[in-house]
């Protein structure tokens, strides 16, 4: 990697479509090792910037300079594959250069064995090895297997790729790209068509493989976890912010505060957004820290007594379902009462014997892997399909508003004003308030000139905004929303979240957007895809974290069993001299516990400061967050070292 110079430089870029100016005097630079997120409203030019950076679209003015020694690859919105390829072959075809390098390396190794002093062979051998190192391409077979599993493509690996859906084909293209590991990877909405588990895998591999990235996403946790910098398209130029989404909010709030009253409304939204994120992250960190401390203690005991693992699993399972809701449920109006609900399709059970109640003002998110039956559950609630077993009783005269990606409530030949005022006039009722239609639509980021535009002329994202805005002009007891954040920019998602949080009826939403679910939902319905439906009152991101800890616990238990078995067999065969702790290991065993306690106290103090405005304003949010991250990393490192030593002590005791 060549961090000494920029991989991509754009200078004084201008770009216009018809009469609409996209960029004017725009500069952009991407350094090696950076992971840059592009944000901004729909239609502002995010994808145009991506295409200009990739070199597949020319600017009207300005200059693009690239380091010609680097490979730049873009994930296409609609991938194209050679005719007749299977899914596995389509992935392998993207790796032909790496496979050729592996074969060349093997041939060179054989040649060097015959001629060990041939300098030309040795030099080429070293160059090919460096190429394979750079692309981390030594074990492509196992990596292909893993990506097929994680992207849920394994079942289709021998199917022609042309028979897959658009979303599945995009996963095939993404799989090949991340395995190919180009120097610069350009991703336009890579999390579309991925469920949360696929997104977590994508985050893991992009961080682990140290990609240089330029990406567009409306998934704010994805941005926060990955981005080292965010560039926002504003007034035809780019404004750069260091760090991920949380630091972007903080920096933008300070910047907008300096611009005074013209941005008061946006500033209010940003303050609420930053405060929510800060409170939520700190609360989760505090809870996670406490949980991780208990996990660490119990794992120490488990190494000595594997029966304790069951206690730890039960505790984590209980935490997944933790109740944080209201206690006055009896006073709420019942909207849906579900008893023994079952539904199968194509011989596969999606929902089995599920019972729950949905009450007035409940905010529920239906989550789970792709294909687990989330949209099916919504259709069952709406009465569009009948269950195989069980009952769904609806409250008397309840009114339901429904939003899905097909936008069935919109008519392409109607204008916006006709859509919102079908009986004439220019006024709409919104949550009991009489508003001018333009004033209302402006809150959904529509300019006045859009009032006379026909629905059919709008983009997919604009149609979604219209459909969502229309829902809030009706009086419903319950809103049912299927993937409402698809095709929306972050600014519009913020507006939608604010509307849903203050909404007086019930909300049932299907979404893969972890940040959106954390912010809106008070309760989760988790569909597993095997018929089981789990209920939880945890924030979704925290639920996923506990799930990950349960998987790690399973691996830990498996490792303990596999390690203890040969030890028992070896002990029964012979009584060899037992291993001993070295001087340094004995010293660490004594010194690590007080160091770990010291770090726990430091982490607790930093969290307390982050919860105190006077303290964090004095020391700085960014500084405190960095200190906390460093302390937590050191805590994890020392904790793992201490566990290793405890396992070794157990091994010594087993030989005695």
The CA distance from 600 to 605, in Å, is 9
The CA distance from 502 to 522, in Å, is 13
Asked if residue 168 lies in contact with residue 156, where contact means CB atoms within 8 angstroms, the answer is yes
The CA distance from 574 to 296, in Å, is 33
The CA distance from 231 to 241, in Å, is 6
Q: Is 167 exposed, middle or buried (0-12, 13-18, 19+ CB in 10 A)?
A: exposed
Nearest residue to 80 via CA among 159, 179, 166: 166
Class of domain 54-265: alpha beta
Whole-number Cα distances in Å, 175 to 50, 151, 514, 644? 20, 8, 22, 35
List the chain domain ranges. Answer: 54-265, 266-321+543-655, 329-542
Beta-bridged to residue 334, according to DSSP, are 359
Buried b (16+ CB within 10 A) or exposed e, 572-593: eeeeeeeeeeeeeeeebbeebe
Q: Residue 309 has what pLDDT? A: 53
Q: Residue 620 has what pLDDT? A: 77
Q: Residue 267 has what pLDDT? A: 58
Q: Is 457 exposed, middle or buried (0-12, 13-18, 19+ CB in 10 A)?
A: exposed
| C-alpha torsion angle, residues 16, 20, 25, 27 (rounded to 10) | -80
- Pairing of the two strands 523-527 and 533-536: antiparallel
Chain centre to alpha carbon of residue 465: 22
Whole-number Cα distances in Å, 37 to 225, 239, 269, 273, 629? 11, 12, 21, 19, 21
Per-10-residue mean pLDDT for the chain, 656 residues long? 69 90 94 94 90 94 91 88 90 88 87 85 88 82 89 90 89 92 93 91 92 94 95 92 90 70 58 72 63 59 54 56 47 85 90 93 93 92 93 91 79 91 89 87 87 87 88 91 89 90 93 93 92 91 87 78 65 55 78 85 83 77 78 82 77 65
Would you put residue 336 in left (φ > 0), alpha (ψ -120 to 50) or beta?
A: beta
Q: Residue 286 has what pLDDT? A: 63
Asked if residue 553 lies in contact with residue 313, where contact means CB atoms within 8 angstroms, the answer is yes
The CA distance from 437 to 427, in Å, is 5
Q: Residue 263 has what pLDDT? A: 46
Superfamily of domain 329-542: P-loop containing nucleotide triphosphate hydrolases (3.40.50.300)
Q: Residue 552 has what pLDDT? A: 80
Which runs of consecutive H residues, i.e. helices, occur in 86-186?
87-93, 96-114, 119-134, 140-150, 166-180
Asked if residue 81 lies in contact with residue 268, where contact means CB atoms within 8 angstroms, the answer is no
Contacts (Cβ under 8 Å, ≥6 apart) of 646: 300, 303, 304
């Amino acid at each position: 990697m060549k961090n000494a110079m920029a991989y991509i430089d754009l200078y004084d870029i201008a770009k216009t479509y018809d009469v609409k100016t996209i960029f004017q005097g725009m500069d952009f630079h991407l350094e090696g090792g950076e992971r840059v997120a592009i944000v901004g409203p729909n239609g502002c030019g995010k994808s145009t910037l991506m295409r200009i950076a990739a070199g597949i679209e020319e600017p009207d003015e300005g200059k693009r300079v690239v380091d010609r020694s680097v490979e730049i690859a873009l994930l296409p919105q609609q991938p194209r594959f050679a005719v007749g390829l299977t899914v596995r072959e389509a992935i392998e075809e993207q790796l032909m250069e790496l496979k050729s390098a592996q074969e060349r390396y093997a041939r060179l190794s054989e040649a060097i064995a015959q001629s060990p002093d041939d300098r030309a062979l040795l030099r080429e051998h070293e160059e090919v090895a460096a190429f394979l190192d750079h692309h981390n391409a030594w074990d492509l077979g196992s990596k292909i297997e893993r990506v097929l599993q994680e992207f849920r493509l394994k079942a289709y690996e021998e199917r022609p790729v042309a028979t897959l859906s658009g979303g599945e084909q995009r996963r095939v293209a993404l799989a090949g790209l991340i395995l190919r590991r180009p120097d610069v990877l350009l991703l336009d909405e890579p999390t579309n068509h991925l469920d949360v588990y696929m997104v977590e895998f994508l985050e893991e591999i992009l961080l682990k493989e140290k990609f240089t990235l330029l990406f567009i996403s409306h998934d704010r946790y994805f941005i926060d976890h990955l981005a080292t910098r965010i560039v926002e398209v504003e007034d035809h130029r780019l404004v750069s912010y260091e760090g991920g989404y949380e630091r972007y909010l903080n920096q933008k709030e300070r910047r907008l505060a300096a611009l005074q009253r013209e941005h008061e409304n946006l500033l209010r939204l940003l303050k609420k957004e930053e405060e929510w994120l800060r409170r939520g992250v700190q609360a989760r960190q505090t809870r996670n820290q406490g949980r991780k401390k208990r996990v660490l203690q119990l794992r120490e005991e488990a190494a000595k007594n594997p029966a304790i693992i069951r206690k730890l699993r039960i505790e984590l399972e209980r935490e997944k379902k933790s109740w944080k809701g209201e206690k006055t449920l009896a006073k709420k109006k019942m909207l849906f009462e579900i008893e023994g609900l079952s539904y199968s399709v194509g011989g596969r059970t999606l929902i089995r014997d599920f019972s729950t109640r949905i009450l007035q003002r409940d905010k529920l998110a239906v989550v789970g892997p792709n294909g687990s039956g989330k949209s099916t559950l919504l259709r069952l609630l709406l009465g569009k399909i009948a269950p195989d077993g069980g009952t769904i009783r609806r409250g008397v005269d309840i009114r339901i508003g429904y939003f899905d990606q097909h936008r069935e409530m919109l008519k392409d030949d109607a204008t916006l004003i006709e859509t919102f005022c079908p009986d004439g006039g220019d006024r709409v009722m919104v949550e009991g308030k009489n508003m001018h239609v333009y004033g209302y639509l402006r809150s959904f980021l529509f300019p006045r000139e859009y009032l006379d535009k026909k629905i059919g002329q709008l983009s997919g994202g604009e149609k979604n905004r219209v459909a969502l805005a229309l829902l809030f002009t009706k009086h419903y007891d319950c809103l049912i929303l299927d993937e409402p954040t698809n095709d929306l920019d972050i600014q519009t998602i913020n507006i939608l979240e604010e509307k849903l949080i203050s909404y007086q009826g019930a909300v049932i939403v299907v979404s893969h957007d972890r940040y959106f679910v954390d912010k809106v939902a008070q309760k989760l319905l988790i569909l597993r895809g095997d018929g089981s439906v789990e209920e939880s009152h945890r924030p979704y991101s925290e639920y996923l974290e506990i799930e990950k800890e349960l998987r790690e616990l399973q691996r830990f238990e498996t490792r303990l069993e596999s390690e203890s078995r040969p030890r028992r067999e070896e002990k029964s065969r012979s009584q060899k001299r037992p291993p001993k702790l070295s001087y340094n290991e004995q010293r660490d065993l004594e010194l690590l516990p007080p160091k770990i306690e010291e770090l726990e106290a430091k982490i607790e103090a930093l969290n307390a400061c982050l919860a105190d405005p006077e303290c964090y304003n004095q020391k700085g949010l960014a500084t405190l967050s960095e200190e906390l991250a460093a302390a937590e990393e050191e805590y994890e490192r020392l904790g793992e070292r201490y566990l290793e030593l405890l396992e070794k002590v157990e091994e010594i005791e087993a030989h005695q």
